[in-house]
């Protein structure tokens, strides 16, 4: 089993690399598995595993999952 983290594509760097926002943390992500960078990906949510976007997800699913991660992290800080 692997864990993939949702993030929002905020900018395109080159043919296969985009900047993805993971709730305020921005990382360069390879989009090769999605067919490369296209303008249509800007603002879309992707699932990322070890630096590679592995699939597109809906905006609703992306936001919901990111909110759940935030709640988990808040709980960890209160322990």
Q: What is the CATH number of the domain that holds 30?
A: 2.30.30.140
* Residue 77 clears pLDDT 80, i.e. is over it: no
Query: Could you tell me if 24 and 7 are in contact, meaning their C-beta atoms sit under 8 angstroms apart?
Result: no
* Residue 51 clears pLDDT 90, i.e. is over it: yes
Total structural domains in the chain?
1
Mean pLDDT of 3-14: 94
Pairing mode of beta strands 17-21, 5-12: antiparallel
How far from 53 is each of 19, 20, 74, CA to CA, in Å?
11, 9, 26
Alpha helices in 1-79 (DSSP H): 59-77
Q: CA-CA-CA-CA torsion for 35, 41, 47, 51, nearest 10 degrees?
A: 60
The range of the structural domain enclosing residue 30 comes to 5-77
What's the rounded Cα separation, in Å, for the pair 55 and 4?
Answer: 10
What digits encode the pLDDT tens for the residues 33-45?
A: 999 989 999 999 9
């Amino acid at each position: 089993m692997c864990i993939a983290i949702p993030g929002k594509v905020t900018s395109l760097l080159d043919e296969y690399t985009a900047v993805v926002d993971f709730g305020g943390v921005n990382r360069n992500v390879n989009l090769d598995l999605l067919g490369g960078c296209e303008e249509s990906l800007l603002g879309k949510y992707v699932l990322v595993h070890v630096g590679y976007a592995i699939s597109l997800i809906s905006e609703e699913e992306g936001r919901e999952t990111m909110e759940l991660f935030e709640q988990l992290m808040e709980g960890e800080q209160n322990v």
